[in-house]
Amino acid sequence: MITLLLLMAASDWARLLAPPSYHGKLRFGVEEIRARDGVILRAIVYRPDVEGKFPVFLINTPYDKMRADYIAWGQHFAARGYAAVIADVRGRYDSEGANYLYGPHDGPDLYDIQSWAARQPWSTGKIGTTGGSYLGFVQLEAAMEGNPDYTCMVPMVSPDDHYDNVFPSGAFQLSNSVNLAWILGKRTNQNPDAVLDWARVYRHLPLRDLDLKALGLRAQFWSDWLAHPRATSTGRGRAIGSRPERTAPANITGFRCLPTTSPAGTTR
């Protein structure tokens, strides 16, 4: 049974907003997680440095688990009674395997990370995820895997279909695709040749060689994108947008951000 997409309960929001209960009493360390095909994924875990079991909040990222804002995020949640797990996606930074954007391993890998976290002695077995953009996309992919430990998810500003992200309305989106490939196409973002003549890159033909121009290497995902330009192509079936019967939709809108009075001062 597919996991329901649930908003955090009021008590969880209260815990998030409450002053830290474990300030200065945190434990952290890098853990190895074996995916179902034997590939080693690595994550850093922050949690209160006391005995007990804690609900788990999880991020699976291609942007480096040791990034400063992720460290702050992990410490924030751990100080408020959560175990915060931040994992590198397959093929990025400390996680092994081949890097493949919008690949078939995103959902299964996050499922395996969730199952690992649920089995840890410091875990209550309740797993939540959060994150935007690619971090949101992998949550949607994992939701279709139906992990029974998956309790809460908060995807934000994320595509629900990697085909539509690369081929919106059927046309190849060159700038977005090249930027994604350039940012995420290698194991790390530390590229000594990062200064590119972007105007020349965007004019480069044929497109099938553009990965060499932008990345300096052949990227399998780039070749596959160009080889499957139609909505019926291989991989479309993984899109959660094509399977609405397997979701429980929920949207958070900005109504609370709207003004409550008109310019004339009358209440709306």
Mean pLDDT of the chain: 83
pLDDT number for residue 1 = 35
Mean pLDDT of 242-261: 57
HEC string of the chain equals CCCCCCCCCHHHHHHHHCCCCCCCCEEEEEEEEECCCCCEEEEEEEEECCCCCEEEEEEEECCCCCCHHHHHHHHHHHCCCCEEEEEECCCCCCCCCCCCCCCCCHHHHHHHHHHHHHHCCCEEEEEEEEEECHHHHHHHHHHCCCCCCEEEEEEECCCCCHHHHHCHHHCCCHHHHHHHHHHHCCCCCCCCCCCCCHHHHHHCCCHHHHHHHHHCCCCHHHHHHHHCCCCCCCCHHHCHHHCHHHCCCCCCCCHHHCCCECCCCCEC
| 26 vs 46: CA distance, rounded Å | 7
Mean per-residue pLDDT, 105-115 = 97
Q: What percent of the chain has pLDDT over 90?
A: 49
* Intra-chain end-to-end CA distance of the chain, in Å: 43
Contact 110, 139 (CB under 8 A): yes
pLDDT over 60 at 46, yes or no:
yes
pLDDT at 216: 80
CB 263 within 8 A of CB 248: no
Residue 11 confidence (pLDDT): 56
Q: Given the DSSP bridges, would you call strands 40-48 and 54-61 parallel, antiparallel or unpaired? A: unpaired
Residue whose structure tokens are 């995820």: 129
Residue 134 in tokens: 């690619």
CA atoms within 13 A on the CB side of 166: 25
State the pLDDT at residue 6. 42
Residue 1 or residue 246, greater confidence: 246
Say yes or no to pLDDT of 235 above 60.
Answer: no
- The 10s digit of each residue's pLDDT in 118-142 is 999 999 999 999 999 999 999 999 9
* d(C-alpha 185, C-alpha 108), whole Å: 20
Q: Report if pTM > 0.75.
A: yes
In a 10 Å sphere around its CB, with 0-12 CB exposed, 13-18 middle and 19+ buried, how is residue 14 labelled? Answer: exposed
Taking residues 153-172, report their average pLDDT: 85
- Ordered by start, the domain boundaries in the chain are 1-158, 163-243
Q: What percent of the chain has pLDDT over 70?
A: 77
Instruction: Give the CA distances from residue 227 to residues 172, 181, 221, in Å, rounded to whole numbers and listed in that order.
Output: 11, 16, 10
For 1-158, CATH gives 3.40.50.1820
Query: By the 8 A CB rule, do 43 and 23 touch?
Result: no
Mean pLDDT, rounded, for 42-52: 96
Identify the CA nearest to 153 among candidates 126, 115, 179: 126
pLDDT at 73: 94
Does residue 193 have a pLDDT over 90?
Answer: no
Does residue 251 or residue 8 have the better pLDDT?
251
pLDDT > 80? residue 210: yes
For tokens 């400063």, the residue is: 68
